[in-house]
Amino acid sequence: MPHSAPFGVILFDVGGVLLTNSWDRRERAAVAAALHLEARDLEARHLEIDGLWERGGMTIEAYLNFVIFHQPRAFTRDQFVSCLLDQSKLLPGGAMDVLKELAASGKYFLGALNNEAREINEYRFKSFGLRNYFRIALSSCYLGLRKPEPAMYRRAIDIVGGPAERILFIDDREENVAGAATAGLTALRFTGSDALRRALADRGVL
C-alpha cells in the first residue's frame, strides 16, 4: 500500500450500510405479521437473549426454541428461518458500489465490523458475496463482543494491527460511530452512498 494512502484499513458495518438490516425491529415485525405471530411476545423474548445470540453464545436452534417454538406453531423451523433470511436484501442507496470500488483499487485492507448472529452473518456473507471484498470479518458472533462496547473496537484494532488513526470505520448508527471515535478510529456515519463518496473524497480515499 502506498505510504501516502490516508488509511490502511477500512471497516464497514453491514446492516444499514451495505444490506438491509437482517433481524431488527422492522424485520421482526414483518415476519410476525407474515406468520401470524404475536409480535409483542416475539419482541420481548428476542430482546431477552439477543445479546447472547449475537455474541455467538447460543445456536440458532436454541434461539428458536426460546423465541418461537416454545409452543406449537403452524409452520416449521425451516419455514421460519427462510422467512427470516428473506428479510436480507441489498440496501437501496447503500454502499455496495463504494465497497466494490475500494476493493478494486487494491489500496486498502477491507473488512466488516458488524453485529450479527452466526447463521445470519454467514448467510449474508455468502448470498451477497461479501467475502469477495472483505479480507476479514470482525463480526460479533466471532469476537464474542458487540458494538458499541469499547472492547469490540479495541479487539478490532488489535486484530488488524492498528494504529487506530489509520483505521476508517463506516456505520449507520450514531452510537456505533461515537464508540469507534472514542476508541481512536476515524468514524463516518453512513447516510447514503452519495454522501459517503463525498466524505471519502474529502479524505483522499476515493
Lowest mean pLDDT among 3-7, 127-131, 196-200: 3-7
Q: Is the pLDDT of residue 34 over 60?
A: yes
Mean local confidence (pLDDT), 16-43 = 97
Q: Is the pLDDT of residue 3 over 50?
A: no
Q: Catalogue all structural domains in the chain, each as residue range(s) with its CATH number.
A: 9-20+91-202 (3.40.50.1000), 25-85 (1.10.150.240)
- And the C-alpha cell for 79? 419455514
User: What is the band of 4 on the pLDDT scale with cuts at 50, 70, 90?
Assistant: low
Q: What is the pLDDT of residue 38?
A: 97
Written as one string, the DSSP assignment of the chain is --TT-S-SEEEE--BTTTB--SSSHHHHHHHHHHHT--HHHHHHHHHHHHHHHHTT-S-HHHHHHHHTTTS--SS-HHHHHHHHHTT--BPTT-SHHHHHHHHHHT-SEEEEEE---HHHHHHHHHHTTGGGT-SEEEEHHHHT--TT-HHHHHHHHHHHT--GGGEEEEES-HHHHHHHHHTT-EEEE---HHHHHHHHHHTT--
Residue-wise pLDDT for 80-112, tens only, equals: 999 999 999 999 999 999 999 999 999 999 999
Are the C-beta atoms of 29 and 187 separated by less than 8 Å? no
Are the C-beta atoms of 45 and 67 separated by less than 8 Å? yes
Q: What is the pLDDT of residue 205?
A: 96
Q: Is the pLDDT of residue 29 over 70?
A: yes
Residue-wise pLDDT for 40-53, tens only, equals: 999 999 999 999 99
Q: What is the pLDDT of residue 162?
A: 82
Q: Is the pLDDT of residue 6 over 90?
A: no
Q: Is the pLDDT of residue 1 over 70?
A: no
Mean local confidence (pLDDT), 109-137 = 98
Lowest mean pLDDT among 1-5, 31-35, 174-178, 194-198: 1-5
Percent of the chain with pLDDT over 70: 98
What's the rounded Cα separation, in Å, for the pair 63 and 49? 8
- Mean pLDDT rounded to a whole number for the chain: 96
Q: What is the pLDDT of residue 2?
A: 41
Q: What is the pLDDT of residue 53?
A: 98
Mean local confidence (pLDDT), 173-178 = 98
